[in-house]
Amino acid sequence: MNVDVLLVGGGGREHALAWKLKQSPRIGKLYIAPGNGGTQNLGENVPIGVMEFEKLADFATEKKVHLTIVGPDDPFVGGIVDVFKQRGLRVWGPSKAAAQIEGSKAFSKQLMRDAGIPTADFSVFTNYDEAFRYVQDKGVPIVIKASGLALGKGVYVCQTLEEAAQALKEMMLDRIFKDSGTQVVIEEFLDGPEISIHAISDGRTYKLFPPTQDHKRALDGDAGKNTGGMGVIGPLPFVSDAQMSDIDDRIVKTTFDALNAKGIQFSGLLYPGLKMSSRGVKVLEYNARFGDPETQVYMRLLKTDILDIFEACVDGTLEKQPIEWNSGFAANIVLASGGYPDEYKKGLPITGIEDAEKVPGVIVFHAGTTFDGALKTSGGRVLGVSAVGTTLKEALDRAYEAVAKIHFEGMQFRRDIGAKALAA
């Protein structure tokens, strides 16, 4: 029997999920709320915002949607899953209580400390003077984070005391992240490569995806500001099976156990961001959702029908559901608006996507685009150019060959995605 699905979100992650859902032999109608210029070719875009829970639930009820899948962090943290469940609707993802692991760094850091999960040493502050004294005491480099959600921008890696003072001032006194910065977490700087772990869970069992790597800084050589993510590769040739099983034992399993011990069942996608530091693997942060643009790489590599996986999570039957991956590698290069992650222009025409998709193995995922007769930019991260290949190098070469065919005014991207992994 074919089933109708509502997918909530409108970024590159959701385009990739929609692309994969559409390949399911069981998919009926696919609605995407609000969607973007790419998802409209795969299903029906519905003009309801991701935080309009009651309207989304009304829509799911009215259309007799079989399953709702949610992409972004804000609705999870705001309790969309609880609202849908109260209304008797089938929905995939973590409850509000479970999503705290992403929504409050103060909560997640304490959970890690209590459960003995390796993470950077830290303290939490609500008072500017005390926070600043702590920074002076510890010295630099040091990392200052807004406790709440801040679109991936609430983290400052400070190399000087002046930078640290400025970060604390912006968050605590100028309140540029509003209430998200009322509490700040100040933590030890960790060196080494960063990797993304994804574990999908039905609340009873979980299954690990292969490791991937995002590139968070805006500019080549890991310079510039932190962004939502500028490019992903996977799987990672420099992470061994033994390292993955150590990460599974000491981090992933321990995290699910620690949540269970608090009476919190985590059903959905747990994405710990890790640092392979010189002092061992440590958790930088948790996300309670699929990564963006990690998902673009995962959907290119996943062999199994994603609808089967989502349904197994909702039905509590994940243990019996195989998750299989294609051989080879995938890469996804983000094309961003000039100026991102700061101010940028919108409404600029985009050309060359059709040509880009003629390169073997390439699919272009939309993120910040709209279509009003012509395709235009509408966000900071505009497109994700993904490619698969037998080797990581082939995947990257194909992705960059396709990138060269796309144009919009001010287009900005990193030219060194995957370069360190290739050199390792």
CB of residue 76 to ligand GLY, shortest distance in Å: 13
Instruction: Kindly state whether residue 202 participates in binding ligand GLY, applying the rule CB under 6 A.
Output: no
Burial environment of residue 1 by CB neighbours within 10 A (0 to 12, 13 to 18, 19 or more)? exposed
CB of residue 286 to ligand AMP, shortest distance in Å: 9
Q: Which of 228, 76, 74 is nearest to 152 (CA)?
A: 228
284 binds, among ligand AMP, ligand GLY, none (CB under 5 to 8 A by kind): ligand AMP
50 binds, among ligand AMP, ligand GLY, none (CB under 5 to 8 A by kind): none
* Gyration radius of the chain over CA positions: 21
Burial 19-32 (b: 16+ CB within 10 A, else e): bbbbebeebeebbb
CB of residue 181 to ligand GLY, shortest distance in Å: 18
Contact (CB, 8 A) for 252 and 281: no
**Distance (Å, rounded) from C-alpha 182 to C-alpha 176?**
10
Residues 154-213 that bind ligand AMP (CB under 6 A): 155, 157, 187-190, 194
Instruction: Kindly state whether residue 14 participates in binding ligand GLY, applying the rule CB under 6 A.
Output: no
CB of residue 285 to ligand GLY, shortest distance in Å: 8
Q: Which stretch binds ligand GLY (CB under 6 A): 286-294, 339-347, 383-391, 410-418?
A: 286-294
Contact (CB, 8 A) for 313 and 201: yes
CA triplet 177, 181, 186: central angle to 5 degrees?
130
**Distance (Å, rounded) from C-alpha 399 to C-alpha 385?**
6
Q: Which of 214, 233, 329, 376 binds ligand GLY (CB under 6 A)?
A: 214
Total Cβ atoms within 10 A of residue 391: 12
352 binds, among ligand AMP, ligand GLY, none (CB under 5 to 8 A by kind): none
Q: Which of 152, 193, 237, 328 binds ligand GLY (CB under 6 A)?
A: 152
Type of residue at 102? E
Q: Which of 202, 294, 305, 311 binds ligand GLY (CB under 6 A)?
A: 294
CB of residue 424 to ligand AMP, shortest distance in Å: 18
Q: Which position's Cβ is nearest ligand GLY?
A: 229
**Distance (Å, rounded) from C-alpha 257 to C-alpha 334?**
35
The contact set with ligand GLY (CB under 6 A) reads 152, 214, 228-229, 287, 291-292, 294
The contact set with ligand AMP (CB under 6 A) reads 120, 143, 145, 155, 157, 187-190, 194, 216, 226, 273, 284-285
